[in-house]
Amino acid sequence: MKVLLVDDEPDMLLIVDMALRKIGGYETVQVQNPLHVLEIAKRERPDVILMDVFMAAMDGPQVLALLAAEPDTCAIPVIFLTGSASPEEARRLIEMGARGVIAKPTGPRSMVEQFRSILKTDQMDSTTKCDV
């Protein structure tokens, strides 16, 4: 499974990348600049995108909206990784179209377990649609 990682903080990107590759066994592609996510998602065809919510150039919900508006990327599940994962914030992000939210900071093993849990739940969810 290929995971597109999006975070404008290089250290966080490295930690998440290592956790998903070493613990999870996933193939990863990293994107530090959210302005390039659409282009890279079209080229790389990831199975899922794990993205930070708060980024300088463009925030995660804005990137999610761009992905949802494109036929080539609208069906790619997006999971958010955020430091402000209150229940209200998580609900808001899911209402926007995210498949799940992982709170940070979290340990690498816990993050991978949460990631897998969201993917497992998402595979059973038959409401996955692409309106474009």
For residue 125, the model assigns a pLDDT of 52
For residue 104, the model assigns a pLDDT of 83
Residue span of the structural domain in which 17 resides: 2-124
Could you report the per-residue pLDDT of 66-101, keeping only the tens digit for each?
999 999 999 999 999 988 768 888 999 999 999 999
Give alpha helix (H) positions in 57-105.
Answer: 60-68, 87-96
CATH number of the CATH domain containing 89: 3.40.50.2300
Q: Which phi and psi (to 5°) does residue 23 adopt?
A: -90, -45
For residue 121, the model assigns a pLDDT of 79
Across residues 110-126, what is the average pLDDT?
81
Could you report the per-residue pLDDT of 20-59, keeping only the tens digit for each?
999 999 999 999 999 999 999 999 999 999 999 999 889 9
* Domain assignment of residue 72, yes or no: yes
State the total domains in the chain. 1
